[in-house]
Amino acid sequence: MPLSKRARIEIYLPQRGDTAYARLEHAFEAEFLETFGGCTVIKNAKGLYLAGDGKTDNEKISLVYADTPFDFDEHFDEVSKYSDDLRAAAMEVTNEESILIAVSAIYHSVP
C-alpha cells in the first residue's frame, strides 16, 4: 500500500483551570470533529519552558490534534490559513501567547 502524505494540525493548550480555556478546548474538539470527522485529545501532558529569569517552569497542557484528509503539499496554503484562523480564535478568547498551533506532514497507509 502506498503512503499518503496528509496534514496534521496540533493545538497545545495550557490547562489553566479557567472556564475560558475549558470552553476553548471543547470548541477545538468540536471543530475538528465536525471538520475532519474526529480528533485525539491528550490531557495532563507536561510542558517545560525556560522562563525569562533562566529558571525552568512547567505546566500541564492538553494536546488536541487531527489528521486532515488533505495532502500537505497540495493544500499547504489552505491548511496554513485554517491554522491562522484557529490561532486568531484562541487569541480572541484567551489573549494567550503560549497556545501553540503546529502543522506537520504525516504519512498514512491508506488503500
Does the pTM surpass 0.75? The reply is yes
The 10s digit of each residue's pLDDT in 63-100 is 999 999 998 999 999 999 999 999 998 988 887 777 89
Average pLDDT score over residue span 39-57: 91
The 10s digit of each residue's pLDDT in 58-72 is 889 999 999 999 989
**Residue 74 DSSP code:** T
Alpha helices in the chain (DSSP H): 19-36, 76-94
Give helix 19-36 / helix 76-94 axis angle, nearest 10°: 160
